[in-house]
Structure 1
Amino acid sequence: MKLKRFLLRYYPPGIVLEYQRRNGDLETKCIDLLNLTPETDVEVLINQIVFEEPLISENKKDTLRGMIFKLMEKIDNKDSQRFYLFKILRAHILPLTNCAFNKSGSKFITGSYDRTCRVWDTLSGEELLTLDGHKNVVYAIAFNNPFGDKIITGSFDKTARLWDANTGQCIHTLKGHHTEIVCVAFNIQGTHVATGSMDNTAKLWDVDTGQQIASLEGHSAEIVSLNFNTDGDKILTGSFDNTAKAIFSLR
């Protein structure tokens, strides 16, 4: 592996190493400097980094030193803010209801009372897709993270829709609830999706076929929140009836 260049990362503080593998592929590696302060002994830190990181040779110490001082200067600047407004994105014509990032943070989605879900490029702020087809408010939205190639939307029109996150094509329309859908979630494997509704039920769906697998009943009021566990074999539902219910063995 060959080190190509250093990159600064201000928040959280760190240094990114861009290196080239023997096959020519470029990759990156992060060195976190979360404990860096204006009082840090820079020489001790440099020696520690060079000792622990084989990509950095002794002759790169001056470059490394300069980057660490830049980070320290930024940290010491009392006027600098840790968070700042990056962009304001306007495209929906009515108020928003929800938003969500994909796993990498490269894209995000917004749902709105204008009956659409929009897909955005995070860095450029460009609107990539408009997911149009619901006949009422798009209230609940989610990516199938960690994959990020599908989106689920739940609407006040009593349906949920599965979309291709790259093309905007509607893959399946999920019908079965009797009232508004207010929460949705994928399992981490991306094989199932759950929807919760004001009709007091949650429903489990097969992502590939769009078929309903199960209707989860027992709450006496609206289901307003739900989530899968990591293994994807349990669902937790939360309701206005003051209870939460865990459902097991969904595979």
Structure 2
Amino acid sequence: MAGARTTMKLKRFLLRYYPPGIILEYDKGGYLRTKSIDLLDLTPETNPDELLAEIRRTEALITESRADQVKQLILRLQQKQVQQDHRKFRFFKELKAHILPLTNVAFNKSGSRFITGSYDRTCRVWNTATGTELHTLEGHRNVVYAIAFNNPYGDKIATGSFDKTCKLWCAETGKCFHTFRGHMAEIVCLAFNPQSTLVATGSMDSTAKLWDVETGEEVATLAGHTAEVLSLCFNTLGNQLVTGSFDHTVAIWDVSSGRRIHTLIGHMGEISNVQFNWDCSLVVTGSMDKACKLWESVSGKCVATLVGHKEEVLDVCFDLSGQLIATASADGTARVFSATTHQRLVTLQGHAGEISKICFSPQGSRVLTASSDKTARLWDAQSGVCLQVLEGHTDEIFSCVFNYEGDAIITGSKDNTCRIWH
């Protein structure tokens, strides 16, 4: 088969800051493809020459002539890590976003736009820089509960509603492309796969479903849970989906076949949240049993139980590089754990009410929490010191998000408003 070997030609490099990595764009048989070199363990102390040698051992596309270019990219990634994140967030604008309480907020990849879902049955699209409303997405007959952009593209929006349907919209025009019908009860969570070809929805009917973004058809029903599916998450490859249920179990599914690969059994209470880490090797789960568990996605084995909270764990997440885990609890505290040693690193104390949402800044150096005490707080992930209290909401805050650059925050509250912080 002499002539059949397709040559691969490197076209260009793209830098990814969060988590650190280098994307290679290359030509293979006339098609443009990409692959990423993840540098999740990169620190400012990493020796760039040794790292370059290691990359070259495993990546044939990086030839001698390209070596210096790659070294420069490594140095740029290290520089970005050294830039300390000392920013103070200032209150920029309050949006009287809806006539009824908000349910969720979400950014597009660039952070130029964000969306809000509400009990008023609409989803609204906003310009982050000005705080002006761009579109109202109308058509649902009940609460719009789960919302998402198809990041990194950001040209589509999915909305999941208590009316049992999910709708797919054009982010540019606000036009509705498809209405996904088939669930027998409220839709409470959803996600796009990374390729933006599928939407997954989780419902109170105990199932999750996969839908085709192009055709609007149902691709698969993921059945097996015996109670509500409250949270779900695709891995970064898009080949697996994890679902967490009120039946105390978590399931890992093979996306292409719709088959269940593992059932993760061990929690003694309802599952509040589930998430894959960046390299798809681990799943973290939070539960009403006051614990958080870490599982190997390949084997389905529980590798650690993170304990210490006095009340339910309401939210849990990895930082982007997958090195840290943060937990938020009804006991009013949050904790940061190491994903490798499973040790608790810090406890975040200061809220006067339960913490329902937690997330890391893209850089991983900050933790943001939202509480029923009407404040959101920004913490130093290393020291556990509270850096800032974001005040002004008049009722509990149940949504808080960073944009991708980490220089804007949106908080959403039961007081019908959301606030932009720059």
TM-score category (smaller protein):
0.5 to 0.7
How big is each residue's C-alpha offset from its partner over 1:14-53, in whole Å with a ceiling of 9 and x where there is no partner?
Answer: xxx99369xxxxx8628xxxxxxxxxxxxxxxxxxxxxxx
Distance 1:221 1:82 in 2: 45
Distance 2:32 2:297 in 1: 26
TM-score w.r.t. the length of structure 2 is 0.41
Alignment-derived partner of residue 260 in structure 2: 127
Q: Which amino acid aligns with 2:307?
A: K
Shift of 1:83: 2.5
Which structure has the larger Rg?
1
Identity %: 32
Distance 1:249 1:192 in 2: 9
1:240 aligns with 2:372: yes
Shift of 1:201: 0.7
Distance 1:81 1:123 in 2: 16
Distance 2:250 2:381 in 1: 32
How big is each residue's C-alpha offset from its partner over 1:163-204, in whole Å with a ceiling of 9 and x where there is no partner?
Answer: 101101111100100000010110112111000011111101
1:180 aligns with 2:184: no
Shift of 1:91: 0.4
1:2 aligns with 2:134: no
Q: Which amino acid aligns with 2:282?
A: K
SS at match of 2:335: strand
Task: Find 2:33's aligned residue among 23, 29, 48.
Answer: 29
2:313–2:327: 8 Å Cα contact kept in structure 1?
yes
Q: How does 1:86-97 map to 2 (within 5 A)?
A: 86-97=219-230
Q: 1:19 to 1:140 in 2, by over 3 A?
A: same
Distance 1:162 1:244 in 2: 26
Alignment-derived partner of residue 103 in structure 1: 236
Q: Runs of at least 4 residues of structure 1 off by over 6 A?
A: none
**Structure (1/2) with the larger helix percentage:** 1
Shift of 1:240: 1.3
Task: Find 2:349's aligned residue among 196, 203, 217.
Answer: 217
Q: Which amino acid aligns with 1:2?
A: T
Shift of 1:113: 1.2
Number of aligned residue pairs: give it: 184
Distance 1:81 1:171 in 2: 39
Cα RMSD between the aligned structures? 2.5
Alignment-derived partner of residue 332 in structure 2: 200
How big is each residue's C-alpha offset from its partner over 1:64-94, in whole Å with a ceiling of 9 and x where there is no partner?
Answer: xxxxxxxxxxxxxxxx964321111110011
Alignment-derived partner of residue 300 in structure 2: 168
2:366–2:378: 8 Å Cα contact kept in structure 1?
yes
Shift of 1:247: 0.7
Q: Which amino acid aligns with 1:113?
A: F
Alignment-derived partner of residue 144 in structure 1: 277
Distance 2:303 2:240 in 1: 20
Which structure 1 segments of 5+ residues have no match? 5-16, 22-26, 31-79
How big is each residue's C-alpha offset from its partner over 1:87-143, in whole Å with a ceiling of 9 and x where there is no partner?
Answer: 111100111111111112110111111111000011110100011001111111111
Task: Find 1:19's aligned residue among 18, 22, 28.
Answer: 28
TM-score w.r.t. the length of structure 1 is 0.68
Structure with larger RCO (C-alpha < 8 A, sep 6+):
2
Q: 1:124 to 1:157 in 2, by over 3 A?
A: same
